[in-house]
Structure 1
Amino acid sequence: MITTDVFTDRLELHAYGRLTLDECREFELLSDYRIQFNGPLDLLLDLRELESCSLDALIEQVRYGRQHAHDFSRIAIVSDSSMVTWAAMCSQFFVDADVRVFDDEGMAREWLGVTGSAIGDASVDSFDQQIAH
């Protein structure tokens, strides 16, 4: 399960349990929409509660990262997993973003220079409503 908070200059994803392909695609819709209207974004990915990731979701993440190599400025990943740290370092070969891993969410937010007013918690339903208006 994921929750996504949308801000004017960044997206924040908090993952819990198992990450699925459908959840990845939901996040992609939200980020595509924000990128279209705001340009490159910062990301805060809180993966401390992530237990696993389906293989198709992992493949989708790599594909999406390569497709949007220039659309993210800074990516702050919050995790204490050495596997996540290793994957984050490998991702720098595919994206122009500055990717850093933190074990403390406050330090990640400080590095991002958290600014911008919150638009709110996002879901596909709220995203569809935004597009309809």
Structure 2
Amino acid sequence: MKKHGLSIGIERVDSDFFLSLKAVGKLTHEDYLRITPMIDAALKEVAHPNVKVLVDAYELEGWEVRAAWDDFKLGLKHGNEFDKIAIYGDKRWQEMMAKIGTWFISGDIKYFDDIGLALEWLND
């Protein structure tokens, strides 16, 4: 049995949201069925959310095809609500993922191989 999935943390400071996602293993469509309603519910409560996101992809191995599509749809749905997205990882394809994400998301996206620098950038 291989561990996989997404965990989520959401904090609100005034009109700013801090969303942290930790991805482990190879993500599945079922993972997104569980996490998407939580993200939707958290973001719909604020008229004009300003969301800063930390994606901890250090243990991410990738996606099943349908899960990759779910991830893409989630980005399109909430892409205008994200102010900054920091992706933390240690793989070249994760860095490329951050660059491709800039095509679909209005906020700034940056890849980091140091979580401290990622948090510092989000808080600037």
Does the residue aligned with 1:68 lie in a helix, a strand or coil?
A: helix
Q: How many residue pairs are counted as aligned between the two chains?
A: 114
Distance in 2, matches of 1:106 and 1:112, equals: 10
Partner residue of 1:10 out of 9, 14, 18: 18
Distance in 1, matches of 2:32 and 2:108, equals: 21
Stretches of structure 2 lacking an aligned partner (at least 5 in a row) = none
Higher relative contact order, structure no. (Cα contacts within 8 Å, ≥ 6 residues apart): 1
**Is 2:68 the counterpart of 1:64?**
no
- Indicate the residue corresponding to 2:37 in structure 1: 29
What is the TM-score when the length of structure 2 is the normalising length? 0.84
Stretches of structure 1 lacking an aligned partner (at least 5 in a row) = 115-133
Please say which of residues 94-103 and 59-68 is displaced more in the overlay: 59-68
- Indicate the residue corresponding to 2:27 in structure 1: 19
**Is 2:111 the counterpart of 1:101?**
yes
What is the TM-score when the length of structure 1 is the normalising length? 0.78
User: Cα RMSD (Å) of the superposition?
Assistant: 1.5
Q: What is the CA deviation profile of residues 69-105 of structure 1, one whole-angstrom value per residue up to 9, with x for unaligned ones?
A: 2111110100111111112101111110100000011
What percent identity do the matched residue pairs reach? 27
